[in-house]
Amino acid sequence: MKKAFASKESDATPALPGQRESVCPFVNRWRSSASAPLSAGLFGVMEALIWVAVLVLAISGVWLGFFYRPGIPSAFNSLQYIMRDVNFGWLIRDLHGASTTMLFGLVYLQIFYGISRGAHRGPRAFAWILVVLRLVAFVAVAYFGFATVGGAASLGSLPSVAQHLAALPIIGPGLATALRGGYSVGMTTLSRVAMAHIAIGFLLVVVAVFTMTVRHVSRGGDKSRREDLALQRAHYNRNLFSGVILLAFACVALITFAPGLGSTRLNAIPPDPLAIPLQVTLPWYLLVFQGLAGAAQSVHGGAYLVIGSLLLLGAMPWLDLRREQSVKAGPVFRFFVWLFGLDFIVLSVAAAEPAHRFSPIIVDLATLYWFAFLVVITPVVTLLEGNRAKGDGRLEQ
């Protein structure tokens, strides 16, 4: 009996010094083989930087909530009071907006870098799905935060968003009615929006726990040597410290030179129920979804395009047909990833510009490439290029 137990212990994978196992065996199974090398530099600590930005957003948001009063026009008036009469209120609100900009910049960079480096493949598929779910939660929180401003642009966007929600099958009409508080935007709408903003923010904490558990940092090198482990940990800490310093400098630069980057000019105007904006422009980090929705020329089509783009992004582990050994993407696929990033910019600019300044053909072509990259280019190119490559079997981040 003792010999049998001893053989099982010897066959088990030895744990790293200082490594803690999760209480959930399912998570342990994914964590054990989802390692990533630290050669990615600052991209290797991007996960931690994202949650640093979330922490700053949470603290500044709680502080703003002390003075915020939801309602029409009390929401707009309370934010004007914060900016003008509360000590350092302008600084806290600008810090909240700059942190949102930095957060989405990091999230989008992580997604594009992960696609080009194969961060969605093999045992890291579960972590990739969590990243996409987290992106959906970030988008929802960001829009509800934009709507709580109570300006002309925020209230002008609520009917359109409610219509897109109502286009969803089964649950859509109920969600739209719950958001509006009735059949149209009324006095209680901003109260519901503020509660949704807070509730999804708490949900992000749960997503953070799962994401940080699954996407852990690889110890790399010879796992049996404590010296290598200490060097890897020191290398990670240096990169993390450098990333936090760069993040702080970027926030200071945004607050100083571009404090209104995450808002629109129409939100500086109080809402008027008799004046409807001809075009509502969302903040830059939501423009790509506004561009996809606008390309459909219908409410139902726009909702399905946005949902389909997110579902296909989450299905990247199954759309990528490279062999398990050839993890690193080839030059052809990386070229198409760069075009995918350029397509992201084109859709965002098209949504921000007036309709008469941007050709609808360009928007249609950009939307077509967005889905062609996910459905056609990724399977075909990775299948042809991955089968010719000779990889070493190590996962890259």
pTM of the shown model: 0.83
Residue (of 56, 84, 79) closest to 68 by Cα position: 79
CB atoms within 10 A of CB 164: 20
Between 172-180 and 152-166, two packed helices, what is the crossing angle to 10 degrees?
160
**Delimiting residues of CATH 1.20.810.10 domain(s) in the chain:** 36-275
pLDDT in tens, the chain (397 residues): 444 444 433 444 444 444 444 444 544 444 433 344 545 567 778 888 998 999 899 899 999 999 999 888 899 999 999 999 999 999 999 999 999 999 999 999 999 988 988 888 877 888 888 889 889 999 999 999 999 998 888 888 898 898 888 888 888 888 888 888 878 787 888 889 999 998 888 787 776 666 666 555 433 444 444 555 556 677 777 888 888 999 999 999 999 998 887 778 888 888 877 777 778 889 999 999 999 998 887 888 889 999 999 999 999 999 988 765 445 668 889 999 999 999 999 999 988 887 667 778 888 999 999 999 999 999 999 888 866 544 444 444 3
Tell me how far apart the alpha carbons of residues 201 and 196 are, in angstroms, rounded to a whole number: 8
What's the rounded Cα separation, in Å, for the pair 140 and 237?
Answer: 32
Range 36-275 classified under CATH 1.20.810.10 = yes
b/e per residue, 336-354, with b = 16+ CB within 10 A?
bbeebbebbebbbbbbbee
The residue type found at 189 is T
